[in-house]
Amino acid sequence: MTDRAQWTDPHCPVARTTDIVGDRWSLLIVRDAFDGTRRFSQFQRNLGIAKNILTDRLRGLVEQGILEARSNEQGTRNEYVLTDRGMDLFTVIVSLRQWGERHAFSDGEPHSTLVDDSTGDPVPMLRLVNAQNIELDTANTHVHKIGQD
């Protein structure tokens, strides 16, 4: 990972993450990579993104170790493939998707659905639980900040 001279908030994992993938284009590129998009032209066509912005975002995602640029079978162009680090963003993308399903569409408005291949059912809502299977939320968690005793 490229060292950052200045992080937005050097001690906050959320701030560091948004510094790396927090703009909409980066997250949409990652989303499309999960859907099988590999080539520059495919990303551009799917997203309607300007070439210079796409070039910049792909470069950044490669530098951050989220995508790997590989030569295609003919060796003429790069293909962009999610790394293990990039694959770890799956839960983030699913969480954003599920938030959007709940809050970014009107009741009954059609939208795409993430489906479990083994059952054909929509993926259930993500839940954050502790080791005792107790659901966690803002009422029963807190952030321990650096310098707190």
Q: How far apart are the first and last CA of the chain?
A: 30
Domain annotation covers residue 61: yes
Domain annotation covers residue 1: no
Ranges of H-type helices in the chain: 13-21, 24-34, 40-47, 51-63, 84-87, 90-103
Task: Say what the pLDDT of residue 146 is.
Answer: 86
User: DSSP label at 115?
Assistant: B
Domain annotation covers residue 93: no
Nearest to residue 87, comparing CAs of 30, 128, 43, 24? Answer: 30
| pTM more than 0.75 | yes
- Residues of the chain predicted below pLDDT 70: 1-5, 148-149
Task: Say what the pLDDT of residue 149 is.
Answer: 60
Residue 79's φ and ψ, nearest 5 degrees, are -115, 145
Domain annotation covers residue 24: yes
Task: Say what the pLDDT of residue 5 is.
Answer: 64
For the chain, how many structural domains are there in total? 1
Domain annotation covers residue 104: no
